[in-house]
Every structure is written in structure tokens, then in C-alpha cells.
Amino acid sequence: MPEDKPLPFHSFNFTLIADKRPRTAFRLKAVEGGMYELHVEKGSASNPTSQFTREVPVDVAQRLKDALQEIGVFGWDESYGDAKAPGSRRWTVNTVFKEGVFSISSKGGSDAPAGFDAMLEELYRLDFPRPAERAAVGNSTGSGRTSMPVMPTSMGDLAAFMSQGGLPDLDSAELQQRMKDEVRRMGPAERKQLIDMLVQSGMGTREFWEDFFNNL
């Protein structure tokens, strides 16, 4: 019989402490049944507050590995310093390709290697919490318009965007293109999880979102 296809990696872990915010940790780890467990938490390592834990298919891990390899994450140095702004940020990345056999790690402070922001974008796609940002709407002439959340840059940010500012402009070509790019990367299970999350949050009916995604 043919051998099973090797897994992309055993586990990928990323931890970030930045701008006096609580520690945030991301873990994608192989589990039984040919699946991966995706876990995100905030707070101290000794007393974390779990954000979510869910199982995802192998192709999610494979897409992440391919993206990280293209970015150059697996070639980063073991350590980076604090030349720019001492003490403002701490981060670690650890990838275990085969448990007990081969792994690589990198850590740093305010300095970061080329591709660090691109890596964060890939993790945001998997619901790693993006730092809260706001963009001003209008100008300083006293129009009376208040600030609104920035447009989400991934499907993982959509629920947070909507909870802060209501239903976004779904006719926006920019937002629709971002959605198209994200949904194309999703398998059926991931898309179902996304719709479940939106419906459970009270952000439209299942019929609305299924029709919306089918027409992207």
C-alpha cells in the first residue's frame, strides 16, 4: 500500500508581547485523525484566557507552511535584538517539523526580520487577533462624523469589524475582493465554520451569508 503523505509539520507556535498588550499565542499542532488543532490564547502562560480551539484540515497547515516558506520564515536567524525601540516588543517562533528530530526557532525584540509583517498577515487569516485599529472618517472641519473601524483585511477580522461598526458596505469592491481572496483559500469545513460564527454572532442569517459567499 502507498505510504501516507507526510504532514507539513508537527507544530507551529508563535508568541507575541507588544506595546504593553497581554501575551498572545498561536499554536497549530497535528492531532489524531489526520487533523490539526488550531489554538489561540491571551494572557500569561501560567494563567491564559483561551480565545478558541478548533480542528482544521491538513490543507490549512499545508497552506500556512507554503506561505511561511515563501516569506522566508524558516531561514530567519535564531535571535534578533532591540536596536530600534528597546523593550517594546517580544516574540518567538518555533516550528517542529518532526517531533524529537528536527525543529527551528527564532526570537526577537523590537527588531524583526524581513517578512515578519507578512507572517503576521498569514496568522491573521487564521484568526490570530489583529491589534485594534481605527481610522478617522471625515476630516477636522467639524462635520460631526465619528471614527469607525478600519475595513477588515481578512475574513478572520470580519466579525470584529462588524461588532464594532455594524454591517460593512458589502457593495464595496475592495471588501469583496478581500473576501474573494480569503474564501478561495478555504475548504468547505472552514467556510462552514465561518458562516456558523457569523450566524451565532447575530450578524445576518445563514441564508444571507450562504448566498453572499456563493456570489462572491
The region of weakest confidence among 34-43, 81-90, 115-124, 188-197 is 81-90
b/e sequence 167-200, b meaning 16+ C-beta within 10 Å: eeeeeeeebeebbeebeeebeeebbebbbebbbe
Which residues face 88 on adjacent strands? none
pLDDT at 131: 75
CB 127 within 8 A of CB 52: yes
Tell me the pLDDT tens digit for each residue of 130-189: 876 433 333 333 333 333 333 344 454 554 444 444 445 555 566 666 666 676 677 777
**26, pLDDT greater than 90:** yes
The region of weakest confidence among 81-85, 158-162, 200-204, 207-211 is 158-162
Region 34-56: mean pLDDT is 86
What does CATH list as the number for 11-124? 3.30.1560
pLDDT at 34: 85
103, amino acid identity: S
Region 107-117: mean pLDDT is 89
CA–CA gap between residue 176 and residue 149 (Å, rounded): 17
Nearest to 164 by CA among 201, 114, 215, 196: 201
Domain ranges of the chain: 11-124, 148-214
Instruction: Return the sign of the alpha-carbon dihedral for residues 54, 10, 71, 62.
Output: negative
pLDDT at 43: 83
Q: How many CA atoms, within 13 angstroms, populate the side-chain half-sphere of residue 159?
A: 18
**127, pLDDT greater than 80:** yes
pLDDT at 56: 92
> How many helices (DSSP H) and strands (DSSP E) are in the chain?
6, 8
Q: Which three cell numbers stand for residue 161?
A: 469589524
Q: What backbone torsions phi and psi does residue 3 show, to the nearest 5 degrees?
A: -70, 150
Put simply, whether the predicted model's pTM sits higher than 0.85 gets the answer: no
